[in-house]
Chains A and B, each alone.
Chain A
Amino acid sequence: MNLVPVTYKGGIYRHDEIMDLIEDLGGYVIQKHVLAQEVVLQALVPKDDIPLIASIARPLTGEIVPSPLVGTEIAVVTMSLEIHHLPHASCDVAEYIRRNGAKTNMVGLSRGFGKRIAQLNDEERDVINEHDLVIFLLGDFQTCIQHKFPVLRRGITIPIVISGGPDKETLQKIIDPPVDGYVGNVGRFMHRTKESEELEKLDEVVSEITRVLENKREEMSKDPPSVSPARLMDVINEQVEEIHDVLSPTPVTVQMMGLRVKLPYDTFAPVLRKLTLEGEVKVGEVADVVPSRMRDYILIRIKPFSETNIMV
């Protein structure tokens, strides 16, 4: 079954019917936001059933739109948490990506600023590597980007998108070896992005990220994960009672090849490993349950089919 990421927006009235429908069709609701009278559902649904959901949602004035970033966790790396970089442009970019369905985490480097003095420490590197994709928000000067970027990318194993003040061609020229995505003309600025030109730039950031993630999905489809992360999320939600007491907005965060579970590692890692997926298959057999560098969370890395020979 081919699940595609979508966003459903509608009124709170009878939205539970839509949730039930998605589950009955074999889809998964990844996140639910209730904003006053509005509901936003981010879900993975079977591709062929989108018209069906749309037709049922129509009398409820709900609409369903494809949003390719649902089910991904993206690191937005800003060079520091000083006023020079926050809230614009870092928060503007993070918020815009979030609106398109991704779960974003902002990583403020402790010593990312400057040219010669820029550094990336091991904790930052490991936290970034726990995501599906990283976008580096660099500054305005070509000279500085060229000089500092090799230091910032050291040890990063996930796809990289960079944005900076110089135009796209210049960025492509100065970054060596090349990274996966480039967005030009989004460097350091200190005003809110609200003009249409600036919003177009943010759209460009989203489309570049989408393009890179599509490539990654295609790569993954050659050797898919042994179990879909969304399905594993469902299993955890059903079988681990304590997850419902977690106050984070997303107690279980879905990634492309795994999950972040916001429960303490020492207590719950053995519990998660023993969960049964289907028949005799346990989570521990199809995934690595490892401690996350983010707080005391648990990271579940689902092994690909080629390693386990199991497909749930």
Chain B
Amino acid sequence: MDAVEYFEVECPEKTGGDYYRRIADVVLLDHNLIRVVRKLHIFIDPRIPLFVATGVTRKLPGVVRIRDFADVNVQEQKVTISLGEETYLAPLLKILWGRYGKEKIEQPDRFTIVIRSEGAELKEIEDIPVYDPTESLYKDLIYAMQVIQPEGFKVRRQYYGKEKFYLVASENTLPENVEEIVREKFALMGETL
């Protein structure tokens, strides 16, 4: 966990806390998320019982647009997109089908897409957002937190966005002041939600 700026597990039982520190470490490492997390504070109180994980992520890569991975060539009758890599092909095709209709999209080979459309603007096409990595990354983070938390805590509240995330879980109804608790934990890391 050296890559993480701040990492604390807060627990009234010392042995249990130490185990969970190791568990959190292993899970984040296994899910390839250790480089994503900048700060992480985990609070577990088995007496209530309550599990609160709050964290701050590093700066995440931005939205991927067509120009990031393909060359666009606009001609009079058609637009040719030459792909540099196939990673985003599936989401791109889906977007193009939705925008122009399936009958106008052709794929002569794996790395080429031809749009039969007149008067298309180069800039407009190049700027089409294809994939937002933050969405899936935050989902992965929340999933990892669910793997870390003690099993059976089925009542959950989660939030992610703006480089921050939290997961609160319990087997009972969550306490009313749960937002307050989360804010406190963020404050311990020197952050505000």
A, B from the same assembly: yes
A residues contacting B by CB (< 8 A) are 79-80, 82-85, 113-118, 139-144, 165-167, 170, 187-191
CB distance from B172 to the nearest CB of A (A): 7
Please classify how large the interface on chain B is, using the bins under 10, 10 to 19, 20 to 34, 35 or more: 20 to 34
B residues less than 8 Å from A141 (CB atoms): 13, 16, 44, 46, 150
> Is B15's CB within 8 Å of the partner chain A?
yes
Query: Residue of B at shortest CB range from A167?
Result: B15
Contact pick for B19, options A83, A118, A187, CB 8 Å: A187
B residues less than 8 Å from A190 (CB atoms): 23, 26-27, 30, 147
A residues less than 8 Å from B151 (CB atoms): 79-80, 82, 84-85, 113-114
Say yes or no: B23 contacts A144, CB within 8 Å.
no
B residues less than 8 Å from A170 (CB atoms): 15
A residues less than 8 Å from B23 (CB atoms): 188-190
**Interface pairs (10), CB distance under 8 Å:** A113-B151, A113-B152, A114-B151, A114-B171, A115-B152, A117-B152, A140-B16, A140-B150, A167-B15, A190-B30
Given known contacts A116-B172, A189-B22, is B13 in contact with A142 (CB within 8 Å)? yes
> Is B153's CB within 8 Å of the partner chain A?
yes
Say yes or no: A165 contacts B15, CB within 8 Å.
yes
Alpha-carbon gap, A189 to B26, bound state (A)? 9
> Is B47's CB within 8 Å of the partner chain A?
yes
Alpha-carbon gap, A228 to B143, bound state (A)? 52
Say yes or no: A143 contacts B47, CB within 8 Å.
yes
Leading 9 A-B pairs by shortest Cβ distance: A114-B152, A113-B152, A141-B46, A113-B151, A84-B151, A143-B46, A140-B19, A141-B16, A140-B16
Alpha-carbon gap, A165 to B15, bound state (A)? 7
A residues less than 8 Å from B15 (CB atoms): 140, 142, 165-167, 170
Say yes or no: B150 contacts A139, CB within 8 Å.
yes
A residues less than 8 Å from B161 (CB atoms): none
Residue among A141, A190, A191 with the most chain B CB within 10 A? A141
> Is B84's CB within 8 Å of the partner chain A?
no
Contact pick for B20, options A118, A140, A142, CB 8 Å: A140
Say yes or no: B26 contacts A117, CB within 8 Å.
no
B residues less than 8 Å from A85 (CB atoms): 151
Say yes or no: B19 contacts A165, CB within 8 Å.
yes
CB distance from A88 to the nearest CB of B (A): 9
B residues less than 8 Å from A82 (CB atoms): 151
Query: Residue of A at shortest CB range from B44?
Result: A141
A residues less than 8 Å from B172 (CB atoms): 116
Alpha-carbon gap, A142 to B150, bound state (A)? 13
Query: Residue of B at shortest CB range from A115?
Result: B49
Residue among B23, B26, B46, B152 with the most chain A CB within 10 A? B152
CB distance from B11 to the nearest CB of A (A): 8
A residues less than 8 Å from B16 (CB atoms): 140-142, 165-166, 187
CB distance from B72 to the nearest CB of A (A): 43
Alpha-carbon gap, A82 to B46, bound state (A)? 20
Q: Mark B79-113, 1 if CB is under 8 A from A, else 0.
A: 00000000000000000000000000000000000
Alpha-carbon gap, A113 to B20, bound state (A)? 16
Q: Mark B8-32, 1 if CB is under 8 A from A, else 0.
A: 0000010110011011001100100
Say yes or no: A116 contacts B150, CB within 8 Å.
no
